[in-house]
């Protein structure tokens, strides 16, 4: 009976710690620190960041994750360089509006004959200055400028899309790290409970060999729980490696980054934002660019008028040579094998393709938004309901243990079942919360974007 009393006091000390208790309680069966079962922002902020004297607030941590991920990403850097290159392409096209000035020169021996009579011989040299500009091109240069401008806009939106993907990956990876860390804590508590039970049963079996099967069952459950804990720790480590690749080693994060994600944005507002999201705007500008290019091809088939002025100064032997010329040149293509028509049609087809891609994108995102919104709201609602279930589960396992240890009305297997059910509910609670947080982050990403929310100082 001494061992039974020891077992009873030890396990009851753990039970009195309360559901997800955050204070140390004496005894080997004390729960570790895990988030208390609260709903909304309180549930998200339940676990403090370890080893930090003054942890940053959750929103600041999320902003640091987003900024560091965007800063370190080579993919984002490459996309931004492409956007800058598109700006320079635009400047190159705009340069066609200005007069083109060039200078050329030659020097070397030469001879000039007229009717077999040498008129000039010896070293000849000259310098020419040429100036030319466009008078009329049917609007070709304007259309090309529009084309380049729209391509530059598309490249900027593309860079924003790439950054959004990187930021979303960083945030969801941080959430997954927290998920498995909390799972490992729950499994560790479960393992401690089983260890306490095994230790007590070892003493009981030493006095009563007929209860050896109970000890075997407790050891089996303890081993299974330790395997689950080790698996969660391994998952947490592997995700930590991925997170370090994304944001580096210098950024120390706490566990409470989920607080801002506890509020799910309204689906109507997200749907309005989808219409003008970076990916939608990218496809629109691509379509507009192709239409402008098609118009530039058509304009290029109209008469092209240019004016030119040239001045040449030189020496032919000892004679000084000087000349100048000014005039207007006209060019017009009579037949080019219908290549202009083919180029224009190809550009129009690409524009129509981009329009259809935009329609499909919007349709898919509207459907995806409804799905993700449902996941977010139902997951967080399910987490709230788990709170009540966990309170009842705590009572059930305490009553079951008391009936087994004091009244002998329950078997050890009933005790083990109630413990397994209780800790299984705690794992389900952690998963429901993080499913909701991840869906909330995806909702914001589907709209104007996490980058706009976390880095409002950056504009596409």
Cβ atoms of residues 282 and 157 within 8 Å? yes
pLDDT greater at residue 416 or residue 228: 228
Note the pLDDT of residue 197: 84
Number of Cα atoms under 13 Å in the Cβ half of residue 360 = 7
- Evaluate if residue 10 carries a pLDDT over 50: no
Number of Cα atoms under 13 Å in the Cβ half of residue 136 = 10
Span 361-366, average pLDDT? 95
Measured at the CA of 381, the angle between CA 268 and CA 368, to 5 degrees, comes to 40
- Evaluate if residue 155 carries a pLDDT over 90: yes
Note the pLDDT of residue 408: 66
Lowest mean pLDDT, pick from 351-355, 381-385, 400-404, 414-418: 400-404
Lowest mean pLDDT, pick from 24-33, 158-167, 198-207, 243-252: 24-33
Confidence bin at 280 (pLDDT 50/70/90): very high
Span 97-120, average pLDDT? 79
The DSSP bridge partners found for residue 331 are 304
The predicted model scores a pTM of: 0.81
Confidence bin at 171 (pLDDT 50/70/90): very high
Span 229-257, average pLDDT? 88
- Evaluate if residue 79 carries a pLDDT over 90: yes
Domains delineated in the chain: 2-98+140-288+353-454 (1.20.1600.10)
Span 190-197, average pLDDT? 89
Between the alpha carbon of residue 183 and those of residues 178, 231, 255, 261, 428, the distances in Å are: 8, 10, 13, 19, 9
Note the pLDDT tens digit of each residue in 27-66.
344 444 444 444 444 444 443 333 444 567 889 999 999 9
Note the pLDDT tens digit of each residue in 332-342.
888 888 888 89
Note the pLDDT tens digit of each residue in 311-331.
888 877 677 878 888 889 898
Lowest mean pLDDT, pick from 77-86, 104-113, 380-389, 424-433: 104-113
Cβ atoms of residues 423 and 34 within 8 Å? no
Average pLDDT, the chain: 83
């Amino acid at each position: 009976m001494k061992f039974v009393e020891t077992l009873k006091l030890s396990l009851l000390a753990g039970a009195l710690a309360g559901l997800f208790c955050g204070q140390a309680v004496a005894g080997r069966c004390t729960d570790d620190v895990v988030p208390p079962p609260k709903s909304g922002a309180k549930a998200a902020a339940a676990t403090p960041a370890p080893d930090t004297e003054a942890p940053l607030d959750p929103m600041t941590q999320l902003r640091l994750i987003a900024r560091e991920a965007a800063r370190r990403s080579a993919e984002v850097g490459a996309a931004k360089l492409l956007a800058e290159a598109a700006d320079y392409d635009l400047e190159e096209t705009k340069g066609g509006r200005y007069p083109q000035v060039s200078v050329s020169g030659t020097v070397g021996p030469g001879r000039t004959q007229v009717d077999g009579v040498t008129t000039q011989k010896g070293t000849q040299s000259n310098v020419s200055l040429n100036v030319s500009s466009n008078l009329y091109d049917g609007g070709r240069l304007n259309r090309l400028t529009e084309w380049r401008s729209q391509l530059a806009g598309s490249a900027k939106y593309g860079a924003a899309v790439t950054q959004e993907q990187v930021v979303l990956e960083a945030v969801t990876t941080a959430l997954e790290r927290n998920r498995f860390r909390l799972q490992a804590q729950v499994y560790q508590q479960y393992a401690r409970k089983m260890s306490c039970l095994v230790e007590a049963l070892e003493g009981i079996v030493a006095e009563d060999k007929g209860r050896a099967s109970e000890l075997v069952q407790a050891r089996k459950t303890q081993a299974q729980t330790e395997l689950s804990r080790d698996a969660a720790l391994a998952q947490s480590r592997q995700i930590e490696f991925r997170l370090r690749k994304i944001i580096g080693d210098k950024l120390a994060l706490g566990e409470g980054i989920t607080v801002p994600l506890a509020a799910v944005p309204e689906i109507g507002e997200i749907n309005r934002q989808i219409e003008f999201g970076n990916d939608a705007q990218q496809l629109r500008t691509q379509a507009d660019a192709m239409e402008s290019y098609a118009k530039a091809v058509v304009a290029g088939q109209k008469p092209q008028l240019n004016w030119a002025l040239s001045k040449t100064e030189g020496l032919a032997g000892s004679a000084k040579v000087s000349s100048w010329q000014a005039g207007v040149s006209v060019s017009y293509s009579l037949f080019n094998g219908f290549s202009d028509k083919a180029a224009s049609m190809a550009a129009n087809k690409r524009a129509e393709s981009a329009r259809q891609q935009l329609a499909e994108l919007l349709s898919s995102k509207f459907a995806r938004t409804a799905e993700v919104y449902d996941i977010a709201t139902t997951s967080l609602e399910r987490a709230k309901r788990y709170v009540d279930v966990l309170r009842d589960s705590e009572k059930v396992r305490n009553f079951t243990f008391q009936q087994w240890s004091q009244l002998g009305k329950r078997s050890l297997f009933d005790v083990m079942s109630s413990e397994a059910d209780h800790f299984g509910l705690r794992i389900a609670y952690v998963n429901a919360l993080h499913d909701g947080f991840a869906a909330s982050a995806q909702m914001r990403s589907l709209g104007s974007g996490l980058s706009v929310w976390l880095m409002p100082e950056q504009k596409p």
